[in-house]
Amino acid sequence: MPVFRSRAIAVSMAAALSIALGGSALAQKKYDTGATDTEIKIGNIMPYSGPASSYGVIGKTETAYFNMINDQGGINGRKINFISYDDGYSPPKAVEQVRKLVESDEVLFVFNSLGTPSNTAFQKYLNGKKIPQLFVATGASKWNDPKNFPWTMGWQPSYQVEAKIYAKYLMKEKPDARIAVLYQNDDFGKDYQKGFREGFGDKASMIVTEESYEVSEPTIDSHIVKMKSQNPDVVVSFVTPKFAAQTIKKIAELGWKPLQFVTNVSVSVGAVMQPAGFAAAQGVLSADYRKDGADAQWKNDEGMKKWSTFLDKYMPGVDRSDNSLIYGYGVAQTMVKVLEMCGDDLTRANVMKQATSLKDFTPDTLLPGIQISTSATDYAPIKQLRMMRFKGETWDLFGDIIAVEPNTN
C-alpha cells in the first residue's frame, strides 16, 4: 500500500473500513482513491487551446472510446469516468490542472497527458505521490526511466528510436550519402537530432550540415536554400507537419531532387502531403507504427473495421485522415487492456504492475507485426517501426519491421 496524505488517507481509510464491514464477499477487492465497485476515475491533460490545440483530437477520441467501453458495460462492471482538462500547452497551467485532478477530483491515475514540457513539470509531483503517469503522449526518450521515475511510462516509439531507424536504413542503403538535417529548435527536434547522430556512431561525418529553425518562423524557405548550397543528396526533416509541407514543396520548387525523410509526426496525407503537392511528395520516406485511416489498403482489415464502426457511432463527421484518431484509439485500447488485467485489484501499485506486464499486445490501429511489450525494466511500450515510401496518394510500406533497443536513462 502506498502512503497518502490528508484527504487521501481519509478516503482510503473509509474504503478499507467499508471493505472490512462488507464481509468476505468483498475481501479480494482492493481499491485506492479513484476506484470503487462502480467507477474508475482517470485524469488527463490535453492542449485543447493554445499553440498545440490540434492535438486536442486525441483527448476527444479517448473520451469517445471510454464512452463506448462504458456503453458496453465498462471494465469488470466498472464505468470509466474520464476527466480531461485543458492546459493550453503551458507548464504552469498543467501543474495546476494535474493537482486539481489528483487533489480535488481524486483520480486513480493520470493517463496520456500530452506534451513534453507539461509532463516534465508534474512528473516529480506524481512520482512523489506514487500516482501512475501512464502512457504519456510525447515521444521524448526520457520517459523510459524506471529507476528514477518508476511511476511514469510513455507509449509511442520515442523520437530517438525513430531517428536511429533512419540512421540504420541510410547506413545500409546509401553508405556514401551526404546528409542534410533540418530540425526544429525545441525538445522535439533536438531529441531526433541527437538520436540520429547517435545512430550513426563513428559514421556521423555522413551528416554534412545541420540547420535549425524556430517554431515561430512563418516560413523556412531560407533554411532550405542554405542547406542546398552544401550540396547534400539526402534531406532529413525532423520537423512538425506545417514545416514538413513547406520543406517538401520548397525542395520541389528549387528543382532539387534529394532523397527525403520526414518524421512520423508529419506523415498525414491530409495535413502534409496534399498541401505540399502529391507530385512533389513522391518518393519521400518515413516510418510508422500506425495504420493510416485514409488508406484504402486497410479497408478490409479487422482492426480498422472496428475503428471505423467506433467513429461512425461515437465521433460522426470527423476527418478520418487525422492520425490523432488512430493514436487516441490505440492508446485508449492499451489502457483498457491494462485495467482489464488489473481485475478487482485497483490499487495504484497494481495498475503500474499490470502496465509493466504487457505481453505482445496488439491494438487494432497499429501496423500488423507491431507488438506492445513492457517489463519492470522496460518502460518503452512501442519500439518497432516499419519503413514506408510515399507513392501516388498513399504511403507504401516496405521491408520488415525494424526494432531498435531504446536507451534507458
Partner 1 sequence: MSTVQEVVTEAPVIEDAIPKKAMALGPVASLVILALLIATPLFVKNFIIFQMTMWLIYAIAVLALNILTGASGQFSLGQSAFYALGAYTSAILMEHGDINYVLTLPVAGLICFIAGFLFGLPALRLSGIYLALATFALATAMPQLLKLGVFEHWTGGVQGLVVTKPDAPAILASLGLKVSQDMWLYYFTLAVSILIYIFSVNLLRSRSGRAMMAIRDNEIAASAMGVDVSLYKTLAFGVSAGITGVAGGLGAIAVQFVAPDGYTIQLAVALFLGMVVGGVGWLPGSLAGAAFIVFVPNIAESVSKGLSGAVFGVILILIIFLVPHGARQIAYGAQGLIGKLRRN
- Residues contributing to the site for partner 1 (CB under 8 A): 5-7, 48-50, 84-86, 88-93, 95-96, 99-100, 102-104, 116-117, 120-125, 142, 185-187, 190, 214, 216
The total of other beta-carbon atoms located within 10 Å of residue 241's CB is 18
Helix (H) or strand (E) holding 366: none
- Rounded to a whole number of angstroms, the minimum distance from the CB of residue 138 to partner 1 is 12
Q: Which is nearer to partner 1, 115 or 363 (CB)?
A: 115
Which residues lie closer than 8 Å to 57 by C-beta, 6 or more apart? 318, 322, 324, 325, 328
Helix (H) or strand (E) holding 286: strand 285-288
160-189 CB burial, b ≥16 within 10 A, e <16: bbbbbbbbebbeeeeeebbbbbbbbeebbb
- Rounded to a whole number of angstroms, the minimum distance from the CB of residue 6 to partner 1 is 7
Q: Which is nearer to partner 1, 315 or 342 (CB)?
A: 315
Q: What is the DSSP string of 192-248?
A: HHHHHHHHHGGGGGGEEEEEEE-TT-S--HHHHHHHHTT--SEEEEE--HHHHHHHH
Q: Which is nearer to partner 1, 93 or 348 (CB)?
A: 93
Q: Which is nearer to partner 1, 45 or 281 (CB)?
A: 45
- Rounded to a whole number of angstroms, the minimum distance from the CB of residue 45 to partner 1 is 12
Q: Which is nearer to partner 1, 149 or 298 (CB)?
A: 149
Amino acid of residue 239 = V
- Rounded to a whole number of angstroms, the minimum distance from the CB of residue 219 to partner 1 is 17
- Which grid coordinates are listed for 148? 528514477
Eight-state DSSP code of residue 296: G
- Rounded to a whole number of angstroms, the minimum distance from the CB of residue 59 to partner 1 is 9
Q: Which is nearer to partner 1, 154 or 363 (CB)?
A: 154
- Rounded to a whole number of angstroms, the minimum distance from the CB of residue 299 to partner 1 is 31
